[in-house]
Structure formats: C-alpha cells, structure tokens
C-alpha cells in the first residue's frame, strides 16, 4: 500500500511595490516550514513572514514544506519606485508684517509645517507671514505615495524705530531743519 500525499498549497502572497529605502513584510502560507530565496535583504529567510528591503526589483521564492515532508514553491515580486525630489524656494528675509510666498515642487501632494502663519498647508505655494524667523518643512509625495522633504527659512527683520523729531511751530516764511533718525535711508 503506497500513500501519496498531496503537495502543500504554498502561497507567497501578492506582488507589490515599495518606495526606495522602504521595507515590506512577506507572508507565505500553506506549509509548516519555509525557506525564502534570495535571502539577501530579508530579516530572516526561514520564517513565513520576513521583512524584505530590496534595493532593486526582486523576485522572492519561498519553498514550503508540510508535516509529511512534501514541499512546493511560489514566488512574489517586489518592485521599487524611485523617490521624488523635493525642491523649495530660496531662504529669504522679510520685514515684520510682510508676506512671503513659499514655493515647492517635485510632487503631487504637499504638506507644510508648522501651520502657523500659512495661508494653506496643503498646496505647493502657500503664503507665509511669520512674526519671527521660521523654518518651514514641506513633505511631498508622488503618485506612488513615495516621500521626500525639504526646508525653507523665512527670516523676519524688525521694523526700524524711525523718529521724525519733535513737533515744532514756526512762523510763515521761516525754515526749520527736519531731522529723522533710526533708519539707513529716508
């Protein structure tokens, strides 16, 4: 009498894409023990659910063995999306009370912080009117939900303390010397 055991129904999971530098958890089912190949960039090639951190498109194959010693295999492909490149306008200095426009590019979605003194935190080009020098950070994402960040600093200069002198009364036809102070140009 010869018993023929069926092969295990090994499933390596669904192929997916990740952003450069990210990791994804693989998830094999259908067997008792597992061995993943290639083992490069895997947290542990001998468990059903290792974390994979590939640097290029990689096809991971898992061999699953059941309690009868029968084995079967399946594969999953992990694709890599490159990161977007965030760019922002140059650092600038404004006078207290003035407004500067921040400009970011490189993504499809934008999130600025801190939100204080911004016309919007969810557009590429918000207006900023900080009362003190502030560094704004923007997180951009692309169509693949990959992220990058950039920063821009808006310096705030105090207004000059300008004085035009004291009020003076003069007679019609007389002249008086006006004397302003507190600034560089008048």
Confidence of residue 114 (pLDDT cuts 50, 70, 90): very high
Q: What is the pLDDT of residue 52?
A: 98
Mean predicted confidence (pLDDT) in 78-107: 96
Mean predicted confidence (pLDDT) in 118-136: 97
Dmax (CA) for the chain in angstroms is 132
pLDDT digits (tens, 9 = 90+) for 6-44: 999 999 999 999 999 999 999 999 999 999 999 999 999
Burial class for 78, CB neighbours closer than 10 Å (0-12, 13-18, 19+): buried
104-105 and 127-128 as β-strands: parallel, antiparallel, unpaired?
unpaired
Q: DSSP class of residue 118? A: B
Mean predicted confidence (pLDDT) in 114-122: 96
pLDDT digits (tens, 9 = 90+) for 61-70: 999 999 999 9
pTM, to two decimals: 0.75
Confidence of residue 112 (pLDDT cuts 50, 70, 90): very high
104-105 and 87-88 as β-strands: parallel, antiparallel, unpaired?
antiparallel
- Rounded Cα–Cα distance for residues 63 and 46 (Å): 10
């Amino acid at each position: 009498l010869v018993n023929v055991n069926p092969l295990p129904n090994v499933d390596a999971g669904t192929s997916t894409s990740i952003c450069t530098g990210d990791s994804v958890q693989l998830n094999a089912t259908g067997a008792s023990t597992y061995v993943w190949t290639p083992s490069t960039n895997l947290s542990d090639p001998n468990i059903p659910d290792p974390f994979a951190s590939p640097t290029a498109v990689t096809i991971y194959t898992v061999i699953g063995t059941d309690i009868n010693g029968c084995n079967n295999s399946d594969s999953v492909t992990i694709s890599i999306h490159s990161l977007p490149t965030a760019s922002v306008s140059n650092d600038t200095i404004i006078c207290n009370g003035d407004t500067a426009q921040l400009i970011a590019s490189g993504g499809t979605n934008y999130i600025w912080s801190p939100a204080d003194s911004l016309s919007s935190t969810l557009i590429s080009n918000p207006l900023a009117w900080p009362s003190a020098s502030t560094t704004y950070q923007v997180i951009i994402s692309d169509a693949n939900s990959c992220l990058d960040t950039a920063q821009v600093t808006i310096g705030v200069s105090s207004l000059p303390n300008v004085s035009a002198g004291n009020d003076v009364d003069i007679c019609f036809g007389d002249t008086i010397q006006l004397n302003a102070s507190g600034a560089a140009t008048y």
